[in-house]
Amino acid sequence: MLFRDDEYMDGGFGVEIVKRQKMVILMYGVVWYFTFYYLAKYTHI
């Protein structure tokens, strides 16, 4: 839902950029998720 605008971009170049942004955001999300999960589990804040 955050990336609905990628449907309106023409050309493969714009689509590739959007796909790369999605992958980067996804990787950062996973990294942050595991970081907070580790902190919550092993350091009782």
Tens digit of pLDDT for each residue in 1-45? 455 555 555 555 677 888 889 999 999 999 999 999 999 888 865
CB distance 21 to 36 below 8 Å: no
pLDDT reported for residue 13 = 64
Rounded to 5°, the CA angle 37-20-11 comes to: 155
CA 2 to chain centre: 10
pLDDT reported for residue 22 = 92
pLDDT reported for residue 1 = 46
pLDDT reported for residue 24 = 94
Please state the pTM of the whole predicted model: 0.47
pLDDT reported for residue 43 = 80
pLDDT reported for residue 37 = 92
